[in-house]
Amino acid sequence: MSQKLIIITGASKGIGLAIARRLLLDNFKVINLDVSSPEKQDTDIEFIKCDVSLESDVLQSFQFIQSKYPEIYGVINNAGIIRDNVIWKMSVEDFEKVINVNLKGTWLVCREAVKIMKQQSFGKIINIASRALLGNPGQTNYSASKAGIVGLSRALALEVGKYNISVNVIAPGLIKTELTDNLPPHVLQKLIDAQPQKNIGKPEDIAEVASFLLNEKTNFINGQVIYVDGGKSIGHVTL
């Protein structure tokens, strides 16, 4: 039987790479659309250089994929960046960059994927947001982009449900990747202390949920936001 195709963005490292590797175990064919080349060679993961914030890159990538593969089973929008600062020190460039990669990039990839999935009458879309969609100081750009991904996903789920396409969101909390490794140690410790379980998650924690959502047995889950954050989304720990 031929392998089902999953397109994942930003899988050259971090959470995206962990998801891609987990999906290989599920016997999916995995394509990684990333602006940077993979740090390590995973020969089973096909790499296409693509800046998801550029319409021309996304269109070209999908044209290439369509010329090579008859169907797309699923798409995971994972590519994301941060440019943190308090609003009074944040430049318009840092606001626009984050919105363009995180939100516009997700929208562009969803648009191209849906055109194909509609014709197949099947598809699963997973968009990676963040617990920060609920609000994080220093992240007005990032929180807005991630809350935007939820609105986009809910609207899209309503538009494409009749074509047997589902759209769900995973909202990770604090996860150990390069993104969090680059934080000053005292800031990272403060974030860990603010966790209900005083811990940090692994990229594999997100990968497991992506695998679950792509399983045909979970087809009835649609339009949902699944927090994978050690309980941080509950609110403040005060005791």
Ligand X SMILES: NC(=O)c1ccc[n+]([C@@H]2O[C@H](COP(=O)([O-])OP(=O)(O)OC[C@H]3O[C@@H](n4cnc5c(N)ncnc54)[C@H](O)[C@@H]3O)[C@@H](O)[C@H]2O)c1
Q: Tell me the per-residue interface mask from 31 to 70 with ligand X, x by CB under 6 A, - otherwise.
A: ---xxx-------------xxxx-----------------
Residue 121 CB, shortest distance to ligand X, in Å, is: 28
Nearest approach, Cβ of residue 1 and ligand X (Å): 30
Q: From the CB of residue 238, how many other CB atoms can be counted at a distance below 10 Å? A: 4
201-220 residues near ligand X, rule: CB under 6 A: none
Question: In 3D, which of 58, 68, 66, 61 has the Cα closest to residue 47?
Answer: 61
Judged by beta carbon, residue 159 or residue 181, the one nearer ligand X is 181
Contacts (CB under 6 A) with ligand X, residues 218-237: none
Instruction: Find the part of the chain contacting ligand X (CB under 6 A) among 22-30, 65-73, 157-165, 176-184.
Output: 176-184
Number of alpha helices (DSSP H) and beta strands (DSSP E) in the chain: 8, 7
Per CB under 6 A, the list member of 7, 62, 104, 130 interacting with ligand X is 130
Helical H runs in 82-202? 92-98, 105-120, 140-160, 178-181, 185-193
Considering the complex, state which of residue 178 and residue 216 has its C-beta at the smaller distance from ligand X.
178
Indicate which residue of 73, 142, 163, 227 is catalytic. 142
- Binds ligand X by CB under 6 A, chosen from 13, 21, 29, 202: 13
Interface residue with ligand X, options 178, 193, 216, 238 (CB under 6 A): 178
d(CA 22, CA 202): 13
| Identified binder of ligand X from the candidate list 128, 157, 165, 210, rule CB under 6 A | 128
DSSP assignment of 101-119 equals IIIIHHHHHHHHHHHHHHH
Query: Using CB under 6 A, which of the segments 62-70, 151-159, 161-169, 178-186 binds ligand X?
Result: 178-186
Q: Is 142 noted as a catalytic residue in this protein? A: yes
Dihedral-angle region of residue 176 (phi above 0 means left; psi in -120 to 50 means alpha; beta otherwise):
beta
Tokens for 46, please give them.
């096909």
Cα–Cα distance for residue pair 207/3, rounded to 1 Å: 19
Q: Say which amino acid occupies 206.
A: I
Q: Is 98 in the site for ligand X (CB under 6 A)?
A: no
- Which residue from 4, 6, 8, 12 is in contact with ligand X, where contact means CB under 6 A? 12
Write phi, then psi, for 149 (nearest 5 degrees).
Answer: -65, -35
Instruction: Enumerate the active-site residues.
Output: 142
